[in-house]
Amino acid sequence: MKYLGIFIALIVCSQLLFAQKNFVVDVNKVGAEVQPEMYGIFFEDINFAADGGIYAELVKNRSFEFDEPLMGWKEPNSNRHSLNVNSGRAIPITKSEDIANRHFLRINVNDGSGYSIINEGFRGMGIKEGENYDLSFMASVETGINQVNFELITTDGSTISKGSVAVNGNSWQTYETTLTASATCPKAKLKITFADKGTIDLDMVSLFPEDTWLGRKKGMRKDLVQLLADLNPGFVRFPGGCIVEGRTLKKRYQWKTTVGPIENRQNLINRWNTEFSYRSASDYFQSFGLGFFEYFQLSEDIGAEPLPILNCGMACQYNTGELVPMDEIDPYVQDALDLIEFANGPVDSEWGKLRTEMGHPKPFNLKFIGIGNEQWGKDYFDRYVVFVKAIKEKYPEMKIVSGSGPSPNGEYFDYGWDQLKKLNAEIVDEHYYKPPEWFKANATRYDSYDRNGPKVFAGEYAAHNKAEAHAMTKNTWDCALSEAAFMTGLERNADVVYMTSYAPLFAHVDAWQWAPDLIWFDNLSAVRTANYYVQQLYAKNAGTNVLPITSEGASITGQNNLYASAVIDENTSEVIVKIANTGDEAQEINIDLKGLKKSVKKEEVKITCLHTDQSEAVNTLEAPNAVVPNQSSVTADKNGFVIEAQGNAFYVCRLKVK
């Protein structure tokens, strides 16, 4: 009897351990609308995301406008510290302090031995065998020089492409040629050689791949934009982020200096240049070849709503915290009004005319605008209300995004939300960079938010597997899975959560300042992180309306390490169930579709799964497939279906029900 009792107890324990979990999805209770803009992307020029990244220009400091005008350029056969200069010398010349493109380079060639200058690119130049590269430059010949020779050289000095351009005349002219690569090199350089004795002035030395996104000349890097399009984003937030604020107001991002002809756009030091001493990048500047027009165009290209964020008269409060006085705020407000006109105004308006001249007479149909990035305290709200009043008076239909500060809780956060509720704010931007456990514990974060208050924009978030957000934290599967679990709470609360975006977006493997990031790249290729796939699965399976999903009458928010949400897509008549199993053990789950008008027996359930047993697994350029989506299917049985949810896995299940 003693052993029989033990045997029965073992059977009972085994049944409890492997008991089927029952999830009930009530198909009749169609709930809150999931906004078309729900899952978007956050772009900030950090980690060399713009110049050296998505903007396909290969020449660094093409217009000699960096604080050190020759940064990025070398003179291999000139002794700059000797009065007896060998074959030549490059001298930066200032045209005027009052124009955007202030400097050019004067080349004095002393003999015909072949004086050269070399541009190093952005940690090199990614060159592909057989590809064409569009080279252009501006030049004015003072004396003697009739030809400029160009080469693409490898790290060992070998030539993989060459070309020559005849030059003449002492007035500024633009010259162009095409270089075709005979080999692939991830870190090539551009060498410019002058064989004749004489003097020539150079400016805007530029090299772009011919094969850009949509074939636009001097456009964007094709593979990186394709990764954004593949995310199926509902919006693009730009240009940041802290980059909007600047360390000082003088160094803030000003959209008007980023539009018009690229040679007239005003270069600016990047605020991430030396922000972190352990990842200093003194050569990090902004050419603004990727400016506000290009951001609007990018959003349109990938079918996303543009969401520009503007400075509200406050420099970064982590740096100087400089404030524009309230009686001097009008130009900042006018910038916001002018931006809306630039995006939406008629072709005969001042800023609509500029948009038209840039090649886009049709309005961009801007619907959202953000005032300030991550500001906090009374100073922010004093300025915020001035912006709101001016924008709503002229553009009452514009939806305004406001900020709740840099943290998801605490004094600044509580004060910010209190003020924003009193001001009847529309959409409030919340930011959180926290450990994976925080994300799992906060899947219920928005369950208790006021349904009649402002909507939420989860504008910057990422799980960090180290305590310090700025430390080298990797895009591990543990982080991505915790985000997937957390996002079930975003989706379940779509009546409160209006839009969401992971941050940051891009990082160059040789030039990053902040990690983790959604997409890592080098000069030739890029890798989708596990976090990327989580974001993509949510965006591509957003549905149109929330459905309640419960277990034993309660939302599924961490019980037995399970998290779940459900939506219906009214356009395709499909129920979509998302399940994150953050535990190590597999669990059998029965999905009961309550309220169906007819049986779904024998209907195929399409299942996409992200899974690995290695919580520290990371997708890298060398090993991009550590965590990738896998497809499978099961057959629905009458009113539902059963899945075997592996441990450490995220599932998306789609079933046609009508």
Q: Does the model's pTM come out above 0.85?
A: yes
At 80, give phi and psi (nearest 5°). Answer: -70, -15
pLDDT at 83 over 60: no
Distance CA 457, CA 63 (A): 38
Q: Is 267 exposed, middle or buried (0-12, 13-18, 19+ CB in 10 A)?
A: buried
34: amino acid identity, one letter = V
Comparing CA positions, the residue from 414, 522, 523, 436 lying closest to residue 481 is 436
**Least-confidence region, from 5-19, 262-276, 363-377:** 5-19
**Considering 374, 426, 491, 574, which one is annotated as catalytic?**
374
**600-630 residue pLDDT tens:** 888 999 999 999 999 999 999 999 999 999 9
Beta bridge partners of 587: 645
* 374 in catalytic set: yes
pLDDT at res. 70: 95
**315-328 residue pLDDT tens:** 999 999 999 999 99
**116-142 residue pLDDT tens:** 999 999 999 999 999 999 999 999 999
Cis amide bond preceding 516, omega within 30: yes
pLDDT at res. 587: 97
DSSP string of 25-63, one letter each residue: EETT---SBPPTTSB-EE--S-TTSTBTTTB----TTTT
Give mean pLDDT, residues 192-207: 94
pLDDT at 467 over 90: no
Give mean pLDDT, residues 352-370: 98
Give mean pLDDT, residues 167-189: 96
At 547, give phi and psi (nearest 5°). Answer: -115, 140
What contacts 216, CB < 8 A, 6 or more positions away? Answer: none
What contacts 231, CB < 8 A, 6 or more positions away? Answer: 39, 41, 532, 535, 536, 539
Q: Report the SS3 class of residue 207.
A: strand
* H or E, element range at 206: strand 198-209
pLDDT at 434 over 50: yes
